[in-house]
Amino acid sequence: ACPDCCVCIENSLVNMQQMTFSGVCPHNCSKFRSNPFAKSGSIARVCNDCGCDIQDHRREAVAEKDVLKALESNEKVPSLIRGTQKNGLYQGGWQAAMNAAHLVDSN
């Protein structure tokens, strides 16, 4: 992203808005650090320093590249965009929509 380009800044904001951050991580990390070797699966969403999920961190602690990595890490599990687990708006593809276990847990 180039700092002076309006398109890049706008795209960055959109990417960050695709995920909700609760800030409930008890370790209060100043920076979320994902595993550089994890490209898929739930481990790609976990902080190397504290072991908490990316969405448990504060928004200020998470970089855009980590949000994109987490969103792309597991196509079967949708990402919570707004709200709570039981009453939220989720983003995901058709595999996430067909995930019966998630639908039951979120209902």
Tell whether the model's pLDDT for residue 10 goes beyond 60: no
pLDDT digits (tens, 9 = 90+) for 81-98: 788 877 888 777 667 777
pLDDT of residue 93: 66
pLDDT of residue 51: 95
Tell whether the model's pLDDT for residue 52 goes beyond 90: yes
**Selected residue with higher pLDDT from 2 and 28:** 28
Name the residue among 83, 105, 79 with its Cα closest to residue 92: 79
Name the residue among 95, 68, 77 with its Cα closest to residue 41: 77
Tell whether the model's pLDDT for residue 19 goes beyond 80: yes
Dihedral pair phi/psi, residue 80, rounded to 5°: -75, 120
Tell whether the model's pLDDT for residue 53 goes beyond 80: yes
* pTM attached to this predicted model: 0.62
- Please state whether beta strands 88-91 and 79-83 pair in parallel, antiparallel, or not at all (unpaired): antiparallel
C-alpha 39/C-alpha 47 separation (Å) is: 13
